[in-house]
Structure 1
Amino acid sequence: MARILIVDDSPSQLLGIQRIVEKLGHQSITAEDGAAGVEVAKRELPDMVLMDVVMPNLNGFQATRSLSREETTKHIPVILVTTKDQDPDRMWGMRQGARAYLTKPFSEDELAEVIDRVFKSLDTPPGAA
């Protein structure tokens, strides 16, 4: 079981993603904007972050860049989960340090596949250490 931080400013999106993550057998932690997400990630050191992009205070691109450059959090894979579906957005998100990019709306199976793919790509999957 992995601990996954979900960062989204929409309560309904947060709850929906949280339900899927927990149904997959993972523990969820939540934050309601990018700034809070960075703070929670630094404090909790989750196994993965599912990050929205369009949020107040610190957007998901900025939060992803912050996490990917911080020594204590750069090992945590970030998946951007967003309505921003243009190729330049996708490329920019990956340049900020995201490991994957999932466009809303998505199915439960699509989210499960992306989470599984990213975990499989890690040198040390969660729970293996």
Structure 2
Amino acid sequence: MTIRKILVVDDSPTERHLLSGILTKHGYQVIIAEDGEQAISRARAEQPDLVLMDVVMPGINGFQVTRMFIKDQSLEHIPVIICSTKGQEIDKIWGLRQGARDYIAKPVVAAELLQKISRLN
């Protein structure tokens, strides 16, 4: 699987801008969603190769959205990397148990993010 198109899900305009900048600079096409509901609809419509998922968002949180991806036949094949300020080891374990393929704590270090993405290729 070659990752080209990435859905960035985050309620923070600053985080969306930061992540989009890192990704576009390295040749990825970026799609944006501001919350969990948008993430599901954009993912169904755009079929990204990867999702970077925040956890703390209004409405449906990132853990819940990740579980929804796993249970949805049209989305289950899309890997999710959780990208959150919730950086405790228990949060990482919980995120992986929800179906995420990896977990990165904010503030995001570009090299670490790009390495995690390349591992999925």
TM value normalised by structure 2? 0.95
**Match for 1:28 among 24, 27, 30?**
30
Please provide the CA RMSD for this pair. 0.9
Q: Which moved more, 1:35-44 or 1:72-81?
A: 35-44
Structure 2 distance, partners of 1:48, 1:95, is 18
Does the CA contact (< 8 Å) of 1:81 and 1:102 recur in 2? yes
Structure 2 distance, partners of 1:5, 1:33, is 12
**Percent of pairs with identical residues:** 48
- The one-letter amino acid of 2:37's match is A
Shift of 1:106: 2.1
Does the CA contact (< 8 Å) of 1:61 and 1:96 recur in 2? yes
Shift of 1:39: 1.2
Structure 1: gaps spanning 5 or more residues: 120-129
Paired residue for 2:113?
111
Shift of 1:17: 0.1
Paired residue for 2:15?
13
Paired residue for 1:93?
95
Q: What are the Cα deviations for residues 8-42 of structure 1, in whole angstroms up to 9, with x where unaligned?
A: 00000001000111111110000001111111111
Q: Which runs of 4+ in 1 moved over 2 A?
A: none
Shift of 1:117: 1.0
DSSP 3-state at the match of 1:22: helix
Task: Give the count of matched residue pairs.
Answer: 119
